Structure 1
Amino acid sequence: MTTSVFRFMVHQNRILQLFLFICTSFVSSSSIPWPPKENYFNQTLDHFSFQARNLTFKQRYLYEDKWFKPNGPIFFYCGNEGEIGGFWNNTGLVFELAPSFNAFILFAEHRYYGKSLPFDKSFQQPYIQYLSIGQALADYAYLIEGIKNKFNMTRSPVVAFGGSYGGMLAAYMRAKYPHIVKGALAASAPVRWVAGEGNFHDFFEAVTKDYHDADPKCSEKIKNAFTVAVQLSQKPDVGYKQLSEQLRLCQPIENDFEFYWMLKWARNAFVMMAMLDYPYKASFMASLPPNPVNVSCKNALSAIDPIPTLREAVGVFYNSSQSLMCFDYKTQFIECADITGCGLGNDSLAWDFQSCTEMNLHDDSDSTTSDMFTSLPLTKQQVTSYCQQKWGVTPAFNQLSTFFGDYIWKTASNIIFSNGNLDPWMGGGILTDQSEKVISLMLDGGAHHLDLRSPDPNDPPSARQIRQIEVQTIRSWLDS
């Protein structure tokens, strides 16, 4: 047998083994270990100051080592803008893959989120000044090295995973620390929009498209409901009363400020349902039924009058339990420097600060011709004024484009950018291959980082195909 023939047979055998692995990996979902193993890492507060190097805080991390074997990889999840346990429970893919890869699973909580708070007054100035992408990336680099030493894994390669903001961080980790992270799966990562590249108004057009694709009459009826709401507001004495009653608001609308707050509250529901339009019941960021966009449309089309149409449509998100007698729009939505919303609680304060410093999450367009909402722009000037008043900071709108602009992905390597065409964040991501080593995958029928979730029988067919490519690509990184 010649050497070339032997190599060919070995190559074919490896492909067959990989194919069989893929075919059996996603038949049933392995249970995600709960409660997770938890610990804290003594993390440096300011990685970029020689004067403050002795200041530290406790950074929380979760891990699972039962599948790990010597020299196996570390699957590292880059924590997002929230408590890390929520991402542990909604990133089933890494738990599916770990047994076959002999992997150690490590989830890092992002500084200033969850329990990883540097100060008692973390969300006030001057204490919040240490919250930045650069500091978070350095945290992850030092944490990885520390965990490698603690668990005797110094020879283990690291693959970074992340979705949305976490996906951005996964890609940034590979670009900035390639000697620490061997490859990254960045799911639904809007790296272009946050860097100020592209048109952010496409986000709301994508939300509208999801509703239009569910039923063209649905998006038209929702658009009409917003139009009627604006018309009613022009006669505030009568209009605000009618709106408050028909929307079943806990607190009546009393002025223009509260009226626009209500409109943004309503828009936020459609945004979230489009993002989380999974084909099965899920409790990620909200408890929602399968295909919530379809359910929302069904409810909207069942209502006769415009304002009840709006109420029934947003109720799928804000009242999924159907136990609320009224909507407290002032507590269910908080306006901030991110036009898509910052969430609630302390995590929303941290994200608001990040949106005020490094992110481009504004939309200067007041156009409504291509979306189903009324004009609710958030301009760069408005963001600047808000951030100066709220936090005493001026946004660095050009910073991310300088550090992680389009050019960097053309020179990087070992990154998968995956997106779903139902996800309104898709337009802000990397949608074409940048090179043979930085690839783009599109999940047809996929919502926000669906590929990172546990495989489900109701997943669209493309989910299985995309995960197969991801597995094969990760394997190739580790074999190289």
Structure 2
Amino acid sequence: MAFRDCGFQLRTFASLWLISVFAVGEGRYKGFARFNQVQAVERGVVFEEQWFTQKLDHFNGADSRVWKQRYFVNEAFYKPGGPVFLMIGGEGPANQAWMEYGTWLIYAKKLGALCLMLEHRFYGKSHPTVDLSTDNLRFLSSRQALTDLAHFRTVIAEARGLTNRKWVAFGGSYPGSLAAWFRLKYPHLVYASVATSAPIYAEVNFPEYLEVVWRSLASVNPECPLLVQKASDTLAERLKDPKTYDNITKDFNLCSKLQIQTETDSAYFLEELAGNFMDVVQYNEDNRGFEGAIGSNITIKVLCGLMSDTSLGEPYDRYAAVARLMMETYSMKCLDASFKTYLRDMTNTSWEGPAAGGGRQWVYQTCTEFGFYQSTDSPNQPFTGFPLPYHVKQCADFYNVSAEELAESVAQTNEYYGAYDIHSTRIVFPNGSIDPWHALGITKNITRDLPAIFIKGTAHCANMYPARSDDLPQLVLARDRIFLLLQQWLQQ
């Protein structure tokens, strides 16, 4: 989400995704919804930006450099002696809409909690360095972020007289992972955590993501993923013949004539179009409108309906119709299918650059900590043409990180956090069955004090969003169970 930011999550950012996600919500490769302040401001609710002083490098005592980190406070529900809820920011700007809406505030009202939200370093307005050069991005990591959280918790608690209060961490997607790891690494500072849609196992190659996409499409129409697969295969085959490029340019409303000169060019275009389905599956039937999200009306049923509409022509033609629908939804005049443009944007190190909303930063984290590359390497998924080497090569192209360095970094992440082997207490792991990220999360109880809540039929971070009358019964029950767990734990 972002919590998302519910958010993650997490990919090598095709241009369609760059445009839509940075404007309105998190993407599958950030893991996690971008915070957009428009909605909260338009409703007349403004939460004052506050600033907290952090060290640039928590792990180097000789480095005295500091910077200002943004946070928000909602004291509306706080009752003396109540707990403190800390919403953890992720790979996008912290959206103050979360200070007005969201399930965590319902819990806060019932439990008399003070609510805080801390923006993640290097995202939003929290700029630790003058630019996003690779040299500066070395200060961007989950470990630095967790230490930011620990120092923030310590100082704010002392300043506000909250040292003896019970602190509960909340997060969705990548911030969900941070919520779990915060409790794991700083048990003396955070009493409990709600780690929603949290991928806690890092892996370089993540083909399981697309396997879940297949199953999620099939849950609506068993023929749907087969039609998508046929369309993707057809397009991949046509990309081998330059004589087809004029027609493809027209079919997919490209901004300029298609140019396929390398395997990377082909992979980028194929991934870009697959992303239409990947993003819709990840956020299927969500309730993100409160944070400024666009496109919530585009669901799996809508896409599979188009793919099943024989009046549109062959599956390839229907695939193109899906792309045009998505462009219309996000008010895009045309689709930029150029990897060269993407490379230029992703290597722009300015805070004003086109990928500074989170793309350059998040992909750096995938290259140096997590991997999470949603490749087509599995036979049990519907797309063609963007294998693992295509993703890994971008780490070298963008940050000069080799495949060997990437693999070593991912192994170190699992070694440091324990991956699935979490030894802690009072962490709840909600996940949705439709959400592809559940493949790297906790979906079964580890212990009585490390419960999992697997919500059939819901997508990424669904339990975090505001409730609505047509929510699935199992989603309603999941929210209730989380509250009962928090209530029980806080009484201990």
State whether residues 196 and 430 of structure 2, in contact with CA within 8 Å, keep that contact through their aligned partners in structure 1.
yes
1:246 alignment counterpart: 251
Q: Distance in 2 between matches of 1:359 and 1:316?
A: 32
Does the C-alpha gap of structure 1 residues 76 and 429 become closer, same or farther in structure 2, counting only changes over 3 Å?
A: same
SS in structure 2 of the partner of residue 141 of structure 1: helix
RMSD across aligned positions (CA): 2.7
Q: Distance in 1 between matches of 2:292 and 2:435?
A: 15
Q: Distance in 1 between matches of 2:169 and 2:286?
A: 26
2:313 alignment counterpart: 304
Q: Distance in 2 between matches of 1:150 and 1:420?
A: 38
CA offset at residue 447 of structure 1?
A: 0.7
Q: Distance in 1 between matches of 2:189 and 2:158?
A: 13
What letter matches 1:306 in structure 2?
P
1:108 alignment counterpart: 118
Larger displacement relative to structure 2 (155-164 or 140-149)? 140-149
SS in structure 2 of the partner of residue 319 of structure 1: helix
State whether residues 91 and 452 of structure 1, in contact with CA within 8 Å, keep that contact through their aligned partners in structure 2.
no
State whether residues 433 and 439 of structure 1, in contact with CA within 8 Å, keep that contact through their aligned partners in structure 2.
yes
Q: Deviations over 1:69-90 (max 9, x none)?
A: 2121111111110001177279
Does the C-alpha gap of structure 1 residues 403 and 216 become closer, same or farther in structure 2, counting only changes over 3 Å?
A: same
Does the C-alpha gap of structure 1 residues 206 and 314 become closer, same or farther in structure 2, counting only changes over 3 Å?
A: farther
1:227 alignment counterpart: 233
Higher normalized contact order (CA 8 Å, seq sep 6+, divided by chain length): 2
1:138 alignment counterpart: 147
Q: Deviations over 1:374-393 (max 9, x none)?
A: 132124xx655543442234
SS in structure 2 of the partner of residue 76 of structure 1: strand
What letter matches 1:249 in structure 2?
L
SS in structure 1 of the partner of residue 284 of structure 2: coil
State whether residues 121 and 140 of structure 2, in contact with CA within 8 Å, keep that contact through their aligned partners in structure 1.
yes
Q: How does 1:297-336 map to 2 (within 5 A)?
A: 297-302=304-309, 303-320=312-329, 323-330=331-338, 334=342
SS in structure 1 of the partner of residue 452 of structure 2: strand
2:371 alignment counterpart: 360
The correspondence for 1:269, drawn from 265, 269, 276, is 276
Q: Within the alignment, does 1:390 sit opposite 2:398 as a pair?
A: yes
SS in structure 2 of the partner of residue 328 of structure 1: coil
2:448 alignment counterpart: 436
1:400 alignment counterpart: 413
SS in structure 2 of the partner of residue 358 of structure 1: helix
Larger displacement relative to structure 2 (464-473 or 218-227)? 218-227
2:214 alignment counterpart: 208
Q: Within the alignment, does 1:255 sit opposite 2:263 as a pair?
A: no
State whether residues 430 and 454 of structure 2, in contact with CA within 8 Å, keep that contact through their aligned partners in structure 1.
yes
SS in structure 1 of the partner of residue 295 of structure 2: coil
Does the C-alpha gap of structure 1 residues 37 and 328 become closer, same or farther in structure 2, counting only changes over 3 Å?
A: same
2:86 alignment counterpart: 76
Q: Distance in 2 between matches of 1:129 and 1:427?
A: 28
SS in structure 2 of the partner of residue 416 of structure 1: strand
CA offset at residue 408 of structure 1?
A: 4.0
Q: Distance in 2 between matches of 1:245 and 1:291?
A: 23
2:15 alignment counterpart: none
2:4 alignment counterpart: none
Q: Distance in 1 between matches of 2:53 and 2:252?
A: 49
Does the C-alpha gap of structure 1 residues 267 and 89 become closer, same or farther in structure 2, counting only changes over 3 Å?
A: farther
What letter matches 2:418 in structure 1?
G
State whether residues 255 and 334 of structure 2, in contact with CA within 8 Å, keep that contact through their aligned partners in structure 1.
yes
What letter matches 1:204 in structure 2?
L
SS in structure 2 of the partner of residue 106 of structure 1: strand
Q: Within the alignment, does 1:159 sit opposite 2:168 as a pair?
A: yes
- Structure 1: which 4+ aligned runs deviate by more than 6 Å? 30-33
Structure 1 gaps of 5+ residues are 1-29, 338-342
Larger displacement relative to structure 2 (209-218 or 112-121)? 209-218
Q: Deviations over 1:202-240 (max 9, x none)?
A: 11011121112222232222211111112212221x111
Q: Within the alignment, does 1:41 sit opposite 2:52 as a pair?
A: yes
The correspondence for 2:76, drawn from 66, 80, 95, is 66
Q: Deviations over 1:141-186 (max 9, x none)?
A: 1111222223222222100000000000000000000101001100
Q: Distance in 2 between matches of 1:37 and 1:280?
A: 25
Work out the percentage of aligned pairs sharing the same amino acid: 26
